[in-house]
Amino acid sequence: MTKMNKYTEKIKENTVIPLSFYEQFDVKKGLRDVNGKGVLAGLTNISAIHSFDENGEPMPGVLEYRAFNIKDITANIKSENRFGFEEITYLLLFGELPTAEELATFTQELAEKRALPQDFVRDIILKSTSSDIMNSISRSILSLATLDPKSSNLSLENVLNQSLSLIANFPLLAIYAYHAYNHYENGESLYIHYPDPSLTTAENILRLLRPDKKFSDIEAKVLDLALILHMEHGGGNNSTFTTHVVTSSGTDTYASVVASLSSLKGAKHGGANIKVSQMLDDISENVSNHADEAEISDYLRKILHKDAFDKKGLIYGMGHAIYSVSDPRAEVLKSYVKELAEEKGLHDDYQFYKKIERLAPEVIAQERNIYKGVSANVDFYSGFVYQMLGLPEALYTPLFAIARIVGWSAHRMEEMLNMNKIIRPAYESVLATKKYVKIEDRK
């Protein structure tokens, strides 16, 4: 046994807590009860999630931004054939829908802030590259803090100004970091495009990413929709709860955002869409006949039994901590996926995804003792969308962050305005008190 193995065995021996203790002290693991419902830890007026009706029965999932149903929001944006990220950013931050004049002014405000300090790309982003783009973004944010003379100013006006700057510049931080890594580590050509102030956030992402700066209207609008669907998801998701916890300590905006980023990058949170994409590629390669539903189901069983794919026993993109009947974000995104797949000539791939979406819940129900229904979540189709847009996997989770920074910003200001106590829950010690033993008497 190596020295490190010996140490890790000691950690396990003295750290693992028996499951019976959680039952004894009525502690909810993951702050969720046996039905998956989160323990109430706060109040919010930014967004709401509904998955059970007034009688406690499972119902099709509903997501509301500032009391507006996300399906109504996206349906209206689509019917008017326009972009919506900037409008819904305004809604989440300020609590009301903007007038045409207010939206124009706000969009211009974001465009003006979409610029990094002079030489920042050269001195910060290009000089220290990493394959982990989320870590690169975090480093850049902390570097921006050192350049902000008001970094620790906690006035609402200053925090809002900082939040708007970060919302505007997240696409630049992510995409420039990706290009830098690709250039220095993979030998690819380096190109740093400036954003176009006349373009929307979604359009600028594609412009910044592609060598020729070109993209189609449907590509940009599907990306815009994906960003809207990922902007916010209740105060209880891990990264947003992190925002509340860290904000309550009185820390600055930059530190708060980096803490939330660190939460989001976890595979159990923002990294799930990468796993879906990789899993579908694996299924496609190992199922010889994509029309044979029995063969597909058999392979899904192998995944559940830890005999295939990453051997974790999970069918990624299926199920959600809150939703059971359906995830409204997945339903909205799916309607756009078909349109984009047709444009890209990927009709067969889309049909394959639909088969997995239908068969996976059946297999899970047969093989697992589950307490609620299982349906496709937003990650199931977002990975496919990013694939069709030609986005690199390294940017899948950063794209989530580019959207979710809006929700984090709204929740940070909500915490500042409504709470005056540091969040400090209790943990019960399960050890009996011990008497200190002198070193010469230890065995």
Neighbours of 417 (CB within 10 A): 9
Q: Is 320 annotated in the active site?
A: yes
The region, left, alpha or beta by phi > 0 then psi within -120 to 50, assigned to residue 250 is: left
Q: Is 411 annotated in the active site?
A: no
**From the candidates 244, 349, 379, 411, which is the catalytic residue?**
379
DSSP string, 151-207: TT---HHHHHHHHHHHHHHHHHHHHHHHHHHHHHHH-PPP--PPPPTTS-HHHHHHH
Exposure class string for 217-232: b at 16+ Cβ within 10 A, else e: eebbbbbbbbbbbbbb
Determine the Cα angle at 387 with ends 384 and 393, to 5°. Answer: 110
The position carrying tokens 């004894």 is 24
The secondary structure of the chain in percent helix, strand, coil, rounded to multiples of 5, reads 60, 5, 35
Task: Give first-to-last CA distance, the chain, whole Å.
Answer: 20
The amino acid at residue 153 is: N
Q: Are 261 and 77 in contact (CB under 8 A)?
A: no
**From the candidates 230, 244, 320, 411, which is the catalytic residue?**
320
CA 421 to centroid of chain Cα atoms: 27
Report the catalytic residues: 320, 379
